[in-house]
Structure 1
Amino acid sequence: MKPPDQITSEILHLISSIAEKIGSINARHLYKAPAELRKSNRIKTIQSSLEIEGNTLSEEQITAILENKRVIAPEKDILEVKNAIEVYENLHYFEFDKLTSLCKAHQLLMKGLIADAGKIRSKSVGIVKGSEVAHLAPPGNLVQSLLNDLFSYLKNDEDLLLIKSCVFHYEFEFIHPFMDGNGRMGRLWQTLILKEYSPVFGFLPIESIIKNKQAEYYNALNKSGHSTPFITFMLQVIDQSLNELIKSQRVTLSGNDRMNIYKDKIGSQSFTRQNYMRSFPDISTATASRDLKDAVDKALLIKQGDKNKTVYQFQ
């Protein structure tokens, strides 16, 4: 059964705005960010998502863990970070529309933290805020069927992936399928679904905006009945994160960056210098020639012909 929601004029406006920004990002090749930017944003993502759940480690400490340096902090917090690093580094191995993949991700994310990592709960559970029960999750005997319905919607419904990612996140938190780790898993899985929509979401730190808007985030999650308020909130977050990327990233691509982007684009097809320059209209003829010569010298390209009859092909 399809989860209930209503597509409002504000949601349609946000979808249009996001699509325009994705187009701009694609035109400027920001979806293929340099390694350092990917690393920096991944650290922000991990730090933000875990801080929402009470983790105390800073971005600097997470960077140190990534570099195998010693960090003085609570053992549980360090283990949470190490697990999250492993999961996000292997994001491409998970299938967004497979329940088995979700359980595998949860197992990695929560290993050593809870006894039943990766296992769907069979017990009743409630979310306590202060001295009050904020949310009483569905009984354990209903969780499996609710998840099956949710993944069926994810795989088969005709909704846009943008909408599906938000609906999934909302319904996942309502179902609360694991004994612990549901918040970070909901955010992780929305990222995975969005990555299917556009590669830029593989490194965009949406969680850092959510962290700065925690009250709004939980308010939108806690509105009962349907997911429309949460869809609106998350689309606003996505739109803001894309806008920040466009404004802040005046990325100067290296020759190696351009070559990797072009290889992804054309694969094993042969091409000329002019073909290459059409994909990078801001570079000069001299820069294009230097890129191609360097790639040939590094044995990345095979060169055939001479002068204006020269063609190239990736090895």
Structure 2
Amino acid sequence: MKPPYIITNEIVTLVASISEKIGEINASHLYKPATELRRKNRIKTIQSSLEIEGNTLTEEQITALLDNKRVLASLKDILEVQNAIKIYEQLNSFNPYQLKDLEKAHKILMCGLIDNAGKLRTTNVGIVKGSKVEHIAPSGTMVNGLMRNLFDYLKKDNDLILIKSCVFHYEFEFIHPFLDGNGRMGRLWQTLILMQQYPVFEFLPIESLIKQKQNDYYNTLSESDKKGNSTPFIEFMLEIILESLDGLLQSQSITLRTEDRIFLFKEKIGQNTFSRKEYMQNFKNISAPTASRDLKWAVEQNLLIKFGEFRLTEYQFK
């Protein structure tokens, strides 16, 4: 059964704006940031997602843990970060459309933190904030069936992936399928779903914007609970995604080096042969001499094989 939500004019407008920004990002070759920026964004993502759940480690401390340095903090906080680092290192190995992969990811994320990591709950739970019960999750006996229905929707529904990722995130939090770790898993899985169609989301620190708007995040989850559909949450998350993409475009005045251009083109062209002209069409701001220098460098580095001479010259990646 399809989860309840309405595609409003606001959602349509946000999806159009996001698609436009993704087009700009792809045209500017920002979809795969440089290694240092990828690392920085990943640290920011881990720190933000865990801070939302009460973890106290700073970006500097997480950087130290990534570098295998000693950090003074509670063992629980350190273990949460170490587990999150493992998950993000393996992100591309998970299939977002498989429930067993979600369970496997939860087991890694919560290993050593709870007894039944990776297992769907079978008991009843309520979410308490302060002295108030914020949300009573569906009965433990319903969890398995609800999660299977949610994955069926994700796999089979024809709505745009941008919308389905937000619906999945909300429904996941509503079902609350695990005894702990649901918040970080819901955010992680939305990223994983988006990555399948838009590689830029692998290194986009959406979590840091959610952290900045943490009260709005929880209020919108509550609003969707009260309305009985995920529409308010879809609108909120699409705004967050748009803001993240805007931030990437504004902060990255990118200057690609020879090496950057060659490896970006390798990802696009694969094993197909190509000419200098085809290479230049992919990087519209470079001159013919620059393209020639790039390709000469790649041949010298043993990355490319060169066939023919002059106008008949073609190349192929090894």
TM-score bracket relative to the smaller structure: over 0.9
The question of 1:69 aligning with 2:72 is answered no
- Check the 8 A contact 1:162/1:197 in 2, yes or no: no
Which of 273, 281, 294 is the equivalent residue of 2:297? 294
Letter in 1 for 2:151: F
Offset from partner CA, 1:214-238 (integer Å, 9 cap, x none): 0110011112210000000000000
In 1, the alpha carbon distance for the partners of 2:170 and 2:12 equals 19
2:222 matched to which residue of 1? 222
In 1, the alpha carbon distance for the partners of 2:273 and 2:8 equals 47
Q: How does 1:119-268 map to 2 (within 5 A)?
A: 119-223=119-223, 224=225, 225-268=228-271
SS in 1 for 2:104: helix
Letter in 1 for 2:263: N
In 2, the alpha carbon distance for the partners of 1:258 and 1:62 equals 31
SS in 2 for 1:134: strand
1:273 matched to which residue of 2? 276
In 1, the alpha carbon distance for the partners of 2:241 and 2:172 equals 19
Deviation at 1:289, TM superposition (A): 1.6
In 1, the alpha carbon distance for the partners of 2:27 and 2:184 equals 32
Deviation at 1:262, TM superposition (A): 0.8
Identity of aligned residues (%): 63
2:311 matched to which residue of 1? 308
In 2, the alpha carbon distance for the partners of 1:150 and 1:220 equals 20
- Which shows bigger deviation, 230-239 or 122-131? 122-131
Offset from partner CA, 1:165-206 (integer Å, 9 cap, x none): 000000000000000000000000000011112000011000
In 2, the alpha carbon distance for the partners of 1:37 and 1:49 equals 18
In 2, the alpha carbon distance for the partners of 1:126 and 1:106 equals 20
Deviation at 1:87, TM superposition (A): 0.4
In 1, the alpha carbon distance for the partners of 2:302 and 2:161 equals 39
In 1, the alpha carbon distance for the partners of 2:261 and 2:98 equals 34
SS in 1 for 2:4: coil
SS in 1 for 2:124: coil
In 1, the alpha carbon distance for the partners of 2:197 and 2:239 equals 16
In 1, the alpha carbon distance for the partners of 2:308 and 2:157 equals 51
Deviation at 1:270, TM superposition (A): 1.1
Report the TM-score, using the length of structure 1 for normalisation.
0.98
Letter in 2 for 1:26: N
Letter in 2 for 1:148: R
In 2, the alpha carbon distance for the partners of 1:61 and 1:36 equals 17
In 1, the alpha carbon distance for the partners of 2:101 and 2:139 equals 23
2:41 matched to which residue of 1? 41
Letter in 2 for 1:195: M
Deviation at 1:70, TM superposition (A): 1.0
* Gap runs ≥5 in structure 2: none
Paired residues in the alignment total: 315
Deviation at 1:281, TM superposition (A): 1.1
- Check the 8 A contact 1:259/1:291 in 2, yes or no: yes
* Gap runs ≥5 in structure 1: none
C-alpha root-mean-square deviation of aligned residues, in Å?
A: 0.8
Q: Which runs of 4+ in 1 moved over 3 A?
A: none
Q: How does 1:78-93 map to 2 (within 5 A)?
A: 78-93=78-93
Deviation at 1:286, TM superposition (A): 2.3
Letter in 2 for 1:256: E
SS in 2 for 1:197: coil
Offset from partner CA, 1:22-66 (integer Å, 9 cap, x none): 111111111121111111111110000000000001111111111
